[in-house]
Structure 1
Amino acid sequence: MKKNKTILSAGIRSQQDVVLVRQRARQVAQALGFSVQEQTRIATAVSEIARNAFEYGGGGRAEFLLDEQPPATLLVRVSDRGPGIAELDAVLEGRPSTSNGLGLGIVGARRLMDRFEITTDSKTGTVVLMGKVLPRQNGLVAEGIEKIAEKIARDLPRDPFSEIQQQNRELLSTLEELRERQAELLELNLELEDTNRGVVALYTELNEKADSLARANELKTAFLSNMSHEFRTPLNAILSLSALLLDRVDGDLTPEQHKQVSFIQQSAQGLSDLVNDLLDMAKVEAGKVSVHPSEFQVESLFGALRGMLKPLLAPNSAINLVFEELPGLPVLYTDEGKVSQILRNFISNALKFTEQGEVRVTARPGPAASATVVFSVADTGIGILFEDQERIFEEYTQIDSPLQQRTKGTGLGLPLSRQLAQLLKGRVWVGSSPGRGSTFYLEIPVCYDSERDLAAADCDCNPAGPFVLAIEDNLETLLLYQKYLLGTSYSLHPAPTLKEAQRVLDNARPAVVLLDVLLGDENTWGFLKQIKEDEATRTIPVLVATVVDNHQKAVALGADGFCVKPIEREWLLQMLRTFSHESG
């Protein structure tokens, strides 16, 4: 490990030395490129600890160092040979309750610095190590430290009166800045109050309208459900009686009677289809449709569809219905009935609007990182204009065309298919050109249940092969990480608690640790520090991923990488490549 570079040091034997140390702290901070505010914070923290060393430790020494290990950090070590701090834990918890006031200023100094460590002993005294990470834009190199030290050493310290004047100026500047901020806050509060009143009024109006829409939607759903059931009985009777007449059970029909009864049957069948679609839509909108996932093969699904839809083709039809499944398709775990219903809607529409050619049904794996399967139904029919391709998914919408006049529909099949796909956590869309046919797509997850997905990703406390330990309690985020690692040599091991994470680290060595710092009530910052201080785990790369931008603190505690959520897949894979290369 590279040794820290000494900038300068100063003894603490009198009150004047305390003032001198404060001056030196400000000079060093200024030379290292810290802002005026940071210079004041560093000088204040150092003077508080130096004063404690003089008053309670009988004097000591202050050393200013530069830690060149990334991130470069200014270190200040204040040591004394005093009796030590007997109630250190109480002091660090913010309860300096000793009778003589020992430790006064420690809590404040600790808050002003990025790093703060104390070692104390009744025989050897007390050593306080404080650190402040250098500004990112600082271009300091090791060769410049000697020059900085020489320059500061040449600068004569000011007398205590001048230092007090400087402190007063800093206080006045701080007070003026606080006054300006207070004025800005008052003005902002007034604006926020006006805005809040407007927002409250708007929310009240929106809530009223939302309640009104919810009631109207409930009434519509109830009406559709009730009327659908009421319509079914007479429609079934008309269809049954029409079939009896066409089958000539009660005698022959004249050609004209046969034609008229056929029209009656076709109209009743169209109305029956409309009623069935309305009932399905009402169920979906009312939330009464549940998903019943089960495992099945695409091959068996296509076999059932082939048997159901073959009767729709006339014996002398000029249309070929082709089912094609690509190799490498996984076993699906989703609602087979609803997938079949969506594909039936697609295929029946394709057959209606295709006069000759073929309707090809295909299944293929989705994008590599998505763990989905994509179904497509392509036809050689009349096609759809670009401006109409979104309209066809609206309820009761039908596009005017010569074929549309001959093949009446309800206009509910495609909207229902979209709702069913969303219920399965998937999506539908269309690609089409007039005169060149259309292709309807359905993309759904291979596994419907996300918790089942995560269970498959889980493993025991001694995983085999390279793996990423994700210390994360959010299921959606864990699922995202799992998808990111698909196609790589790494597996994911989720750890929702620090206890589980420690159990894994005790038994295996992850390639990378992904750490979320907002993990319930647990102290993940302390856990990061523990990993980096333990000889057995300190070399494991730790990537901090959180919604809070606290890059400096993460790096100061030893994190090897930092990212504000959401994590991008390329960033994670790049970090894995970097650390695997370094370890190789």
Structure 2
Amino acid sequence: MTNLMNYFANLADRLVPDEMRSDINELKRVRMFIISHLLGPFLGFPIFLFLFVNDPAPWPHVHIPTAALAMFWAFIIALKLFPNWYSALALASTVNLNFIILFTAYQYGGASSPFLMWFLLTPLLAFFYLGSGIKTSVATLLQIFGGVGVFYTVYLLDGSFPQHIPLEDMVGVTMLSLICASMYIFFMSSYYASVVDSQSGLLREIARHQATLDDLKFAKEEAERANSAKSDFLAKMSHELRTPLNAVLGYSEILLEDAELDGNGEQIADLQKISAAGKHLLAMVNDILDISKIEAGKTELYIEDVDIDQMINEIEMTARPLAAKNTNTFVIEKAEQLGAAKIDLTKTRQAIFNLLSNASKFCQNGKIVLTATKDFTGEVPMLKIAVSDTGVGITEESLATLFENFSQANAAVNAKFGGTGLGLSLSRNLCRLMGGDITATSTIGEGSVFTITVPLEVADNAITDEIENENHTQVDEALMNAASDLRAFQEGDAGLSSSTTTHSAPRVLVIDDDKGYLNLVDRILRKEGYSPVLSDQPTSAMQLARAVKPQLIMLDVLMPEIDGWAVVEVLKSSPDTASIPLLMVSVIDGPQTGSSNLVDAFIPKPIDSKQLIKSINSLLKRDAA
């Protein structure tokens, strides 16, 4: 029996139109339709054969339902030819079944006919074929009541049922009809049960996969939370990680200068190693923090109008001696005038320097070429800067992971040249932050080409220049209490100190909450002939500036109780202090958008003493002019 059902199921699959295989639910209904139409005539013909043999005058009441029964096979052919007519064919099939059953029952036995049991199949098959929609329910009920109504109306008109075969002689056909109806229901129920079982198995499989998906989703969310927490932690640790390096680098430079003046060669070598190690550590810390801030979404763009030619010239001044360390020649190729671009200068320059540094490191006795062009072929005009070298090259396998964090070409290259594997990843992230990218091509033994592309006009997604209301509140509260700070200053106990009494030297007011940093800056400024005035109380900045009347003010951005930018705004809004040059020194990347016009210069922490003195000298000369 199972083999017979499998045969009909396989035959039904071959007869299903291709257009009806995409929807799994429709496919199941079509299979049921075809199987029932294949089986039905085989189980119905024995009944009509019995009537044909036992009815003395079978025409036409045996031939008509027999022909209608054969029509079921014609429905299969019609479905193959016209798959879009499936619903109409299914409805016509159930109407045809109703007609066969009621016509035959009327002719043989009437209300007592053994063929009326087949009438129960009509709603069953209708729902098998068409599903359980409201249209199917209405159509099925109309067929049932309509068929029964016609049956009874004809009986009333005739007054009695025909007697082609006496009821007492129809015991055999009654048993045959019962067996055939039971067999038909058995086959259809068996197939329906197999469909339900397979669907239940599918649902169990879906539930299992859903549970796995939920576990993976939870694990992914946990990993993202952990990664976000890590990135937030590192981004917030910027001040804490860089502050100790202030002392390491600052004091090593001071001691190195003293050792050079004394001619102590042994100390010079040791201090140079300390300074180099500190700068290397600072570079790694900066890269890790920059990447973490990008991942945490805390990196901002500081868009400004940049002279591309001037930027390339400045890069050349730094890159040429870098390339010469390994006896490489450095060449700039660009048009005479590239004009201006609206980009983040610091991040673009940082990405270019990273590429030039790598090229200088991995290329020896070769040639490094920086090519700068504008590209107008795409929808957005782009600045394209390519750095090519004739170095060792990169394998195709390494190129695939080259821009991942902590990824390097291979162990041998890392052992020979060193590096952390963060520079390229950071550079690509910086470029993508500006809407650009970095691509790389390379050939082993011939060299590599890295190409930076950034829009000529980068969309500005940095924070606005509006100072938060709470910062204004903090400033107002600080100014309300500034009188006490001024009195304390006059008495010499307000956290303010002056390390020199030479009033002819330029006075520099330094405001920072880190006393170790203040001591370091004090030594650097005194050594260069300045008169530093130090304070670790940023809330009294306004009153201190009015009292000291410095030639320049240095202050940090990140300070307790008050934001450095709020202090800047207050200083620049007062006629007494608006003209004093402001030098912002902080661990943040740069001035926030809209505030760059409030400060006169910006240098990052840890400070470079030479850069600090150069900035101060430049500001004082400009102010004097």
> Would you call these one fold, judging by a TM-score over 0.5?
no
* Greater percentage in strand: 1
TM-score, normalised via structure 1 length: 0.42
TM-score, normalised via structure 2 length: 0.40
Structure of greater Rg: 2
Higher relative contact order (CA 8 A, sep 6+): 2
